[in-house]
Chains A and B, each alone.
Chain A
């Protein structure tokens, strides 16, 4: 077998093989196309579509959940705000009540104090007046008693006159 002959048979396509390859290939193409590629490709496509759908629905579920969560947070925040407002109001009311009570009690106390002071003054005045009267009557009594004792005898009358006379300067 010489190399030129080999090379010739290597690059010379044989009619028989061309014939059988054509038939086999066409049959293979038709049969595989109908019984293999069509169902396989459609199955893969269906699966991919399924996966895509699942992913999309998961995505939308996630979105819904996120929305729900944000809604919840909003509601929570609102509730918190409301609670704060309520608390604040309560505190304000409490303070107002306390302030009012304080003011009321203060004024009552002031009033009581004032009336007490007035009463005290009145009592004091009355007492002072009474005391004055008593002192006056006492003084008169004393004075009477003193006069009585001073003027009980002649010597005493004379001594008094003398005494008085001593004080009088004889100028």
Chain B
């Protein structure tokens, strides 16, 4: 949380307001947490206990669970409905087990995410617990789960079953593949349009929407931060920009997956940036790290800091994108969740108004975060391939001044 806050501090104004709201909401979320055990503490009209599964008993929605269900990855593409009435698109589950690769559709879990439904393949048994696949235990525990669970010191559930190496085509993977195909279709058709209509005619349709973005990435992001020789990095920057942008936008659609708000996705992109920056780092870049312009006495402190600095830059990239997008989604769902927390239609105009405001803000953030990720990547590449170090820059500047004076 503190990490997130540090990152958001950069966008103080609006985010401060949003975060104040977020904390307000999360306080109300924690107030409703005791229902975990299937017990509801009704506030206001005196505490009374209701069994959520009893007929006629009102089942209170756990908003924090709903919110995290929405932002976390899932083995099936949930559309609507809850539990056994849920309607979802089954996705392939691919597991690398001790006996080889196992493949089945996620529908075989029958929407179960509590480790209660076992899928058996090649003599191996699997359960889905909170969208993680474990080897199932032989018998159920006291909750009817095929898992060995224990409750940790802070009240968290610890699963002692072995997790399976999971290469499933999850909801996020599906959206990523879909968006990749969409990007390919869009941009190859644009490329064809250039070939067909030539370069002398004005761009049309898709072309006229994407061309300014492409030119913006090429001129303002790449050339602006890298300078000479930026052409080499433009394809990478364009791919990163549009992949993040399209998935940010898909994430805003209610049934869309939260891919860019997933740390695994941002981790991969940040790793590519890390690799590209360091592969292209020139003599100055490395000498800045290993031979800093400082007294030799403080080298033992400086060099480790510089080496850590290599990693912190992409690490910040990873956290920034993930946290911004995930937080935005949590806020929207929490605001809508207010209706269920207060159990009143009266609150819905407020909820909808705030959610709309945040959604509009998220539209901006979708572009902004794609821009920031790409721009910072370009900036890091630029600093790694810059021709002269700081001292060199000063002398050349002075030379220019001297020349100018003459």
Residue numbers of A with Cβ under 8 A of B are 1-6, 8-22, 24-25, 27-29, 31-33, 35-41, 43-44, 46-47, 50
Contact = CB atoms under 8 A, between A and B. Distances in A.
B184 A31 contact: yes
A28 B155 contact: no
Nearest to A29: B239
B195 A2 contact: no
A20 B169 contact: yes
Given A19-B167, A20-B176, A37 B187 contact: yes
A21 B154 contact: no
Interface stretch (B211-219, B284-292, B308-316): B211-219
B220 interface: no
A126 B62 CA distance: 162
A50 B200 CA distance: 8
B36 interface: yes
A53 to B, nearest CB: 11
A36 B192 CA distance: 9
Given A13-B262, A16-B168, A25-B272, 18 more contacts: A4-B152, A5-B130, A15-B165, A16-B166, A16-B167, A16-B170, A17-B173, A22-B268, A24-B176, A24-B180, A32-B235, A32-B238, A33-B239, A37-B235, A40-B211, A40-B214, A41-B218, A47-B199
A32 B185 CA distance: 10
B95 to A, nearest CB: 9
17 contacts: A6-B68, A9-B72, A10-B68, A10-B263, A13-B262, A16-B173, A17-B262, A20-B173, A20-B176, A21-B265, A25-B268, A28-B180, A29-B236, A32-B238, A37-B235, A40-B191, A47-B199
A15 B166 contact: yes
Contact of B132 (A9, A19, A32): A9
- Chain B CB count within 10 A is highest, among A28, A29, A35, for A28
Contacts of A39: 191, 194-195
A135 B33 CA distance: 175
